[in-house]
Structure formats: C-alpha cells, structure tokens
Structure 1
Amino acid sequence: MVHEPESRPAPHEGAGPRACYRHPDRPAGVSCTRCDRPVCPDCMVEAPVGHQCPECVREGSRTVRRARTVFGGRPAENTRLVTMVLIGINLAVFLLVQAGGKPLLNDLLLVGRAWSGDGPVGVAEGPGQWYRLLTAVFLHWEITHIGFNMLSLYWLGPQLEASLGRARFLALYLLSGLGGAALSFLLAPPNSASLGASGAIFGLLGATVVMMRRMKYDLRPILILLALNLVFTFTWPNIDWRAHIGGLVTGAVVALGMMHAPRGAARPLVQWGTCAVVLLAIMGTVWAGTVQITG
C-alpha cells in the first residue's frame, strides 16, 4: 500500500522573513556563512564564499597573522626596490660630482689624518663634518669604480633584500658602509682620502656568507668570490683595504644578529638591538680616530 508523504511546513512558514540581528527592524537578506546569523544588506560583508557579518570579519582579521620573510621582514612584491634606489642614488651622485668637478668631490669625500694651518681637516673637525662618513659611501670619481660596485650591488642586493625585508636590508647596507668608513678614518695614513661603496658591498658579501651558512646552502661559490675580492683588495693599487675589511666585518656582524635572532616577539628586539650596538661601535671608532688625530 502506498502512503502519501506527510506535508511539512516550510522553514519559518507563517513567521515572515528573519530580521537582521543588528537591526531588528530590517529584514535579513542573507545569513552569515560563519555563524549563520541573519544580516541585512547594510551589514553583510562579501567573503570568498558567501557573506559574513561584521563581527566574524573582525574576528577573522585578528586571527590572521601577517606574512614575514624568512628573517622577519615584511615581504614585498618588488624585492629589488631598495637595491635599485641605492644604485640610483650612487649614479646621481656620480653625475653630480662629474658636473661639479674636484671642488664638490673634495667637499664629500672622507678625509683621514689631514691637517691645515688651523687644525685637523675632515671628520676630525667635529660634528659639522661627520656627514663625510655617509657621503663618501655614495661617492665615486672613476666610471670603472662605480661600474664594478653597482654591478656587485645589483647581483648581491636583491637576494638579501628579499630575505631580510626592505628596512633590514637598508640598515645592513648603510651600517656596512659606515663601518668601512669608520675603520678607514681610524687607520688611514696621513693626508689620505677614501670614497666609494666598496665597504657597503663587502658588507653585503659578508652578510651573504652568513645567510648561505644559515640556510645550509653550498658556501663554495660565495667564498671563492670573497677570496678573489680580498686578493684584489690587498694587491690592486689605490684600494682602501681598511674600508673593505671594516665593511666586511660590520656586514657579517649585523647579519649574524638579524639571521640568528630567535623567532617570536624577541626577534625584532635582537635584530634592531644588534644594529644599535654596531652603530655605537662605529661612533666609538670615529671618536678614537678623532682623539688620535687631535690629541
């Protein structure tokens, strides 16, 4: 015998449309796909699937963690931006100095142990001349010099920038350049001058060695490159080995602090604390060089 299926009322039959849980006087258009609460068109927020209520959207935003690079920086779509900006600044300064000639060059380069009739010349004069520690890092006179340095920056920079993030990479570059300039200032022979991005480039080399060791990559290619550069440093005429070694050591120390910092909330503190300690060491080196010249 065939039985007719029982007739069941449709959901909410006779009860009218459901009201929005935030606005009881408004009919709900849809239900939240996460909590199933009814929401009106003014409250619904479009989601990848369906719609959500404002509370679920806020809760989801709190639980989503920001992506980070392997060493804690913020990832960027363009991982060459800082590298290309630094290359652009170096090229702009080069063209400016070519147009301004030797007087402008003399105003920007790093002067070691030099004296005039009135006293020391350059950084040792005091805070008004400390800018030379930085301007010398972006200063080149010969086209072969800037060409080699910028090719090295273009080759080394993007990988470190992608791994560290923009801010940490920029700090690494600038501190390496300043570290090289400070050691050059401390140890340079009398009446000598130094210029060029080589200290910063050697800092990137040192940081690349630390990074590849930290990531357990094959170190042989970068060690061979570093060895060749050190050979040129100590055999090629008119190369400031002090700036190269100072940049190399500074870059390696900064990279150790950044790439071996523990994960979690303490990591930024360790990373930027390392940068602060290195900056203090650079300032101490400049002070020692000044005392040596003026004392």
Structure 2
Amino acid sequence: MMRNRQRGSNLGLLLLACQVFQLGIDNIPPVTLAALGLNVYLFLFPAKPLLQTCLSVQEAYWHRDWSRLLLSPFHHVDDMHLYFNMASLLWKGIQLERKLGGAWFAYLLSVFSLLTGLVYLLLETGLTHMTEDSSYSLQCAVGFSGVLFGLKVVNNHYHPGGATYIMGLLIANRYACWVELVLIHIMNPGTSFVGHLAGILVGLLYTNGPLKTLMKTFAGFMASDGHYGRQQTYFNSSGYSGYGMPYPPNPHYEQQSFIHRQYGAHYREPYDTAMPSAPSQHPYTAGLSEEEQYAAAVRASLNDRGIPIHGTYTQSNPTPEEIRWRRLHRFRQLNN
C-alpha cells in the first residue's frame, strides 16, 4: 500500500543526523556512508514522483518500466520510513563492510538491490496466478527494507550465534528475520510483506545457494577481461581512527564494532579471504613481518661472513645480540 509522502515532518531526518554524528562519520565505512548519502539525497531530491518509482508487476512487467527496479529501493515514503531503514543500514553496513571489504560490499549492495526487486516481481506474479487475484500484481512497493532483510540474513551467516530481544522475547539471531517479517506485517499492515520476504530469499540464495558463487565468477571474469587483476581493497578500523587502510588487516588484530565499543567488549573479527588481496606494504618494514625481518637480518649477517644460505633456519640461528654485534663490526670495517 502506498501513502503520500509527508513533506511537513523533519523528525526522521533529525534523528538520522543525530545517529550519524553520534557514531562519528569517520567510524562509518565509505560504502555504507555512500549508500546512506544516496538514499538521503533521493529523499530530498527524488528522481521521479513516488508513484513513478515504486515497483509492481503492472508497472515494471506489463508496462515495461524496468527503471523502477533501480529506483524503488532508494526512494522512501516519508522521513520516518527513511530513518528506520537508514539506521538499520548503518548497523548492518558497519559489520558487513568490515567483514567483506568495501569493494565486495558495494558489489553485494548492487546485486541485492536489483535481485530483491526481481524476486519480488516473481513472488507477486506467482501469487496472482495461484489466487487468481490481480490485486497482487497492482501492489506497488518502495524502500530499502527488502535489501536490509537480505543483509540481515548475510550478517547472521557471517556472525553466527547470539540472540536478540524482539517484543520482549529472546530470539536466536538465525530466526530473527523470520520473526521480524511476521511481526512487522502484523503491527504495520501497510508494509510490503512480499518485499521483505523477497529480501530474505535473496539473502538465503547468497548464504546457502548459488548466488555467492555466481557473483565471484562474474567478478573474476570482469577482472580478467579488464586486465586490472583481482585485487580487493579491505577496510578496517582501529578504535576511532576511521577507515581507509589499503592493506589486508592482520587476522590477529583486535577489532571493535560500534555496538561492541559501546559495551566495552572486544572481539576478533574474521575476514573473507575468498578473493585474493594485495600483499601488505608497510612504509618502514618493506612489507616484512617481525619474523621475516629477523630472518633477513640473519641472512645478511651470514652473507657478510661468506656463509652460503640454504633453506630455512632453526634454533641454531644467531641470537639478536650476535646480529647486532656483527652489524657494529661491519660498520667499523666500513669506516676504516
């Protein structure tokens, strides 16, 4: 069901601004921030009137207005509709973009935005034929919530376990999306039940179906065709210092999510290493870890003495004190 946009209320925008500034813009990953900005911009300056952006079988399939597949997820009925969706995007985006990296998360958002609309059209068409009720084909949906349901499934997949309170009931996270699907529709019948269900199904296609494999295959084909390699950019955060470190994070580094920082809890955050990443290049260590630097120093010291180097070293390696003495001895020889 569509409602006319309420132009006079700005409460949702104010609440969203407070949410963003409370988090700190530097603590919001770039792709999540860009998606948030796009939704807000299109709310303030819509590409088309709302009734020309909502998605339905009648408009998209019968009238061949396929542009609605692209427009409908990023337009909202009113400012509170925008606020609740964007607050949910912030929470899910911060977790998933840290987990997947900015490039893959942007890819995921693009695919989910398009595919959720396609699944919605298929479901509404199926309901029309099963019930012989054409009203299903006339229902017009708009908003980002279908995509968010898909992201919720993916987030629960990458962060298994745990539970959350819904209406006072403790629900395991893996079942939370199904409970929310029903409760939201009961409490607010104007929401699109089929649109939310479409998002859940897309999320399941990614976590338990062929979608993730197809996305990786397509990404690999585009990379090889474009001759730019398959390098993936990772984004991580150290406390409140923000994002933008262009090298893969150390898997043993202690990461903190927004919600964990609020409660003072630390956790180790795994990273998806399915796509190859560029080697770490530290400006002061030439990309070498402490162990590699130590091994390099041993090799240099042995080379100075004319000892051939073969294979790796065991406990018979010189001690750090011996290495430092050899470096000092070499320096004195050069000065003499």
Determine whether 1:229 maps to 2:176: no
Give % identity.
27
- 3-state SS, counterpart of residue 190 of structure 1: helix
Aligned equivalents of 2:182, 2:40: Cα separation in 1 = 27
- Tell me which moved more, 184-193 or 237-246: 184-193
Alpha carbons 1:209, 1:219 under 8 Å: kept: no
Aligned equivalents of 1:270, 1:191: Cα separation in 2 = 32
Aligned equivalents of 1:275, 1:179: Cα separation in 2 = 16
Please report the RMSD computed on the Cα atoms of aligned residues, expressed in angstroms: 3.0
Measured at CA, do residues 237 and 203 of structure 1 come closer, stay the same or move farther in structure 2, by a change above 3 Å?
same
1:14-29 pair list within 5 angstroms: none
1:67-216 pair list within 5 angstroms: 80-97=29-46, 104-112=49-57, 114=58, 121-126=59-64, 129-188=65-124, 189-213=136-160
Measured at CA, do residues 190 and 166 of structure 1 come closer, stay the same or move farther in structure 2, by a change above 3 Å?
same
Q: Which residue of 2 aligns with 1:248?
A: 200
Which of 215, 220, 242 in structure 1 is aligned with 2:163? 220
TM-score after normalising by structure 1:
0.52
Alpha carbons 1:184, 1:194 under 8 Å: kept: no
In the TM superposition, what is the alpha-carbon distance from 1:255 to its structure 2 partner?
4.0
Measured at CA, do residues 226 and 205 of structure 1 come closer, stay the same or move farther in structure 2, by a change above 3 Å?
same
Which residue identity lines up with residue 148 of structure 2 in the other structure? I
Alpha carbons 1:257, 1:274 under 8 Å: kept: no
Q: Which residue of 2 aligns with 1:272?
A: 216
Alpha carbons 2:123, 2:198 under 8 Å: kept: no
Aligned equivalents of 2:49, 2:60: Cα separation in 1 = 14
Measured at CA, do residues 195 and 110 of structure 1 come closer, stay the same or move farther in structure 2, by a change above 3 Å?
same
Q: How many residues align?
A: 175
Aligned equivalents of 2:89, 2:204: Cα separation in 1 = 16
In the TM superposition, what is the alpha-carbon distance from 1:239 to its structure 2 partner?
1.4
TM-score after normalising by structure 2:
0.46
CA deviation map 1:107-154 (0-9, x unaligned): 222122x3xxxxxx334333xx21211210101011221111000000
In the TM superposition, what is the alpha-carbon distance from 1:220 to its structure 2 partner?
2.2
